[in-house]
Structure 1
Amino acid sequence: MQTLTDNILNVTLLEPRQKHPTIFLRFDELTEGESLTIHNDHDPKPLYYQLLGERGNIFVWEYVEQGPESWKVKITKRISTEGEETLGALAAADFRKAQIFKKYGLDFCCGGKKTVKQACAEKGLDVTKIEQELQQADQLPSSRPIPYTDWPLDFLADYIVNTHHSYVIKSLPDLRSYAHKVLKVHGSHHPELARIYELVEAINTELTSHLAKEEKVLFPYIKEITKAGKNTEPLHAAHFGTVQNPINMMEMEHEEVGKNLEEIRELTKNYTLPEDACASYSLLYRLLDEFEEDLHLHIHLENNILFPKVLAMEKQLQA
């Protein structure tokens, strides 16, 4: 028997084989904007992956309680916004608009699938003011932009590896070293440094695995799709099925790293140095700020340009 009150489902009362089918049934019954909160006795992260793989990025996953004995997750079905451009699409078409999103703290890379209205509503911002600034950006002179959207997909993938993956690999050892050093020296007076160190270590673990998966699995397949699109080689079936599956995984991992960096920015009050900051303290904050800046562009190129084009090309090849 299941407990279902105010759209709350206690899955601990279900037989194991009934859990995921029941949750999927309840999710499919939701209308846009409605939520289902599930209670479980362990982290239901495998459900996240299955839901993402089988339903796509049409939901918001929010932990209400995270252990150690009870987990509660609120799953909200996104409101469709056909006809409205997303933050990611706007930034991909004109990167000058990304500067406006940065100004107001609107996430155009990890949160790039939201519309301007959705993102402003979540942050309590005046959408009319921001839309006006976006319109004014069209009139601003700009230097010749890098034509990311015009590049072949295999070239863009190589660019991401050689520019952004290389930067991450080069930067992470210094970030970890200075986060640890500053914690040892200043941690007693600045307790937030302990959490910052934990987050830097989590980012290192996540990205080290993430980059390897892209370079060994996803990007080689993107190159195969590109060759097939040029009719130079046939497209072979991949072990992961459609390319949507690894892309879903990469986007989820982007979101996780993005949340960690956002928390660091909040803990540091936008990298504002305390009065007793030493040279290493200052360098740590500068490195973190630069790392976040690079990662935003890195994720933007993947989430908003590379991945949508790959999905469109695969669909065309399968037609």
Structure 2
Amino acid sequence: MEILDILDVTQIEPRFKHPRIFEKFDSLNPNEGFIIDNDHDPKPLYYQLIGERGNVFTWDYLENGPERWKVKIRKIDGQDKVETIGEMVTKDYRKAQVFKKFGIDFCCGGKKTVEEVCLTKGLDSAKIISELEAVQNQEPAAGHKFDEWPLDFLADYIINTHHDYVKNNVPFITELANKVAKVHRQGHPETIEIANIFNEVGKDLSLHLMKEENIVFPYVKALVQNTKTGEASPIAAFDSIETPTQMMEMEHEQAGEAMAAIRELTADYTLPEGACTSYTLLYKKLQEFENDLFNHVHLENNILFPKAIALEKESLGSEVKK
């Protein structure tokens, strides 16, 4: 049985926790690992590790609260690096349909491999890989090549397509969910929870979009422009673009988890017998909203944010050389 070092971070002063964990990770050889023992979910560390070291590790929960969280972190051999779900969809967007079919999150969970997700969900990885290969062998259809778009153009596309969709649909779906809950709460008490969850999703996403449109995207667009002109990196209220994008990814995950909870409460949007028009429309709009969220978050988590981080580092490197 493999014995791994356990790092009890509850015994470390807060400001030294992440530096100590990074020091431990950097000391590992490929395929070596250690366990973090903490008194809260170390998810922020996951995003920081991804942002600063890249997809060069595995992250497995051994205990997941409510009092202790234990996570096994293993360094991956760079030569044996496995393509992540997000990378697969970025290269070939048709594969998103395969992941949707099996209930696999390709946006918030895009940094995981197929094998990791299948192990967690108890899915047959061989079957999924077979379907992914079948899609890959098909004649590619004409479509947007988001991975090839300039970042400033991609940011504008996200605002004009997905942000506008959220702004236009949240009020309507919220009103509809509240109406269905009020009318059908006696026979279908789950409608109350569905309405409550979506009310929170709507409020949280409204604030989220404001932060992206007023802080993150303007910086990304300025970074692109300054790179073209050879000017210095734009001045911002944060040390690095990694800081706000990590926060955005955490908020994406919260929204994804909320929509997953709604999907579970609705039994994959299965209408009860005799559902009225409002009930039917609500389920249709919730499913549509979830699909848009998946596509929206994929463009940010798997394309815009990683490329912006890389561009910023490249820009800073050029300034140092000067």
Provide the rounded CA distance (Å) in 1 between the counterparts of 2:230 and 2:313: 18
Q: Contact between 2:85 and 2:113, CA under 8 Å: does it hold in 1?
A: yes
Q: Give the partner amino acid of 1:150.
A: E
Give the 3 Å change call, closer, same or farther, for CA 132–168 of structure 1 in structure 2. Answer: same
* Aligned positions, number: 297
**Corresponding position of 1:124:** 122
Task: Quote the residue 1:245 is aligned against.
Answer: 243
Aligned to 1:76, which of 47, 71, 78? 71
| Aligned equivalent of 1:212 | 210
Deviation of 1:32 after TM superposition, in Å, equals: 3.5
2:69 aligned partner, one-letter code: K
The SS at the match of 1:270 is coil
**Which residue of structure 2 lines up, in the alignment, with residue 68 of structure 1?**
none
| 2:320 match | none
Contact 1:157/1:306 (CA < 8 Å) preserved in 2?
Answer: yes
Comparing 237-246 with 256-265, greater Cα deviation is found at: 237-246
CA contact (8 A) 2:151 2:224 kept: yes
The RMSD of aligned alpha carbons is 2.7
Identify the range of structure 1 (235-244 vs 178-187) with the bigger mean alpha-carbon deviation: 235-244
Gaps of 5+ in 2: 26-31, 52-56, 318-322
C-alpha distance in 2 between matches for 1:29 and 1:48: 17
- Counterparts of 1:157-168 in structure 2, within 5 Å, are 157-168=155-166
Q: 1:24 to 1:314 in 2, by over 3 A?
A: closer
Asked if structure 2 preserves the Cα contact closer than 8 Å seen for 1:183 and 1:193, the reply is yes
* 1:295-315 Cα shifts (integer Å, max 9, x gaps): 111001111111111111111
Report matched runs for 1:35-184 at 5 Å. 35-38=36-39, 49=44, 51=45, 55-56=49-50, 64-65=65-66, 72-81=67-76, 82=78, 83-184=81-182
Q: Using the alignment, how far apart are the partners of 1:137 and 1:10 within structure 2?
A: 44
1:311 to 309, 312, 317: 309
Q: How much does 1:25 deviate? A: 4.7
Partner of 1:276: 274
Cα shift readout 1:270-310 (whole Å, capped 9, x = no counterpart): 00000131111001000000000111110011111111111
SS at match of 1:34: strand
The answer to whether structure 1 residue 266 and structure 2 residue 264 are counterparts is yes
Contact 1:247 1:307 (C-alpha < 8 Å) held by counterparts: yes
Maintained 8 Å contact 2:8/2:36:
no
Cα 1:77–1:314 change in 2 (3 A) is: farther
Quote the sequence identity (%).
41
Aligned mates of 2:300, 2:48 — CA distance in 1: 21
| 1:302 is the counterpart of 2:303 | no
Larger deviation, residues 244-253 vs 135-144: 135-144
TM-score by length of 2: 0.83
Which deviates further from its counterpart, 84-93 or 144-153? 144-153
Q: Does the 8 Å contact 1:109/1:296 carry over to 2?
A: yes
CA distance in 2, matches of 1:33, 1:288: 41
- State the secondary structure of the residue aligned to 1:205: helix
Question: In structure 2, do the counterparts of structure 1 residues 274 and 216 end up closer, same or farther at CA, with 3 Å as the change threshold?
Answer: same
Residues 6 and 35 in structure 2, CA contact (< 8 A), matched pair in contact too: no
Q: Deviations over 1:98-141 (max 9, x none)?
A: 11111111111000000111111111111112112111111112
Q: Please tell me whether the aligned partners of residues 53 and 245 of structure 1 are also in contact (alpha carbons under 8 angstroms).
A: no
Instruction: Tell me: CA distance 1:243–1:263, structure 2 relative to 1, closer, same or farther (3 Å).
Output: same
SS at match of 1:36: strand
2:191 alignment counterpart:
193
Contact 2:233 2:312 in 1 (8 A): no
Distance 1:144 1:90 in 2: 17
Q: TM-score, with normalisation over the residues of structure 1?
A: 0.84
Q: Is this contact kept in 2: 1:27–1:36, CA < 8 A?
A: no
Q: What's the secondary structure of 1:230's corresponding residue?
A: helix
| Contact 1:228–1:235 (8 Å) recurs in 2 | yes
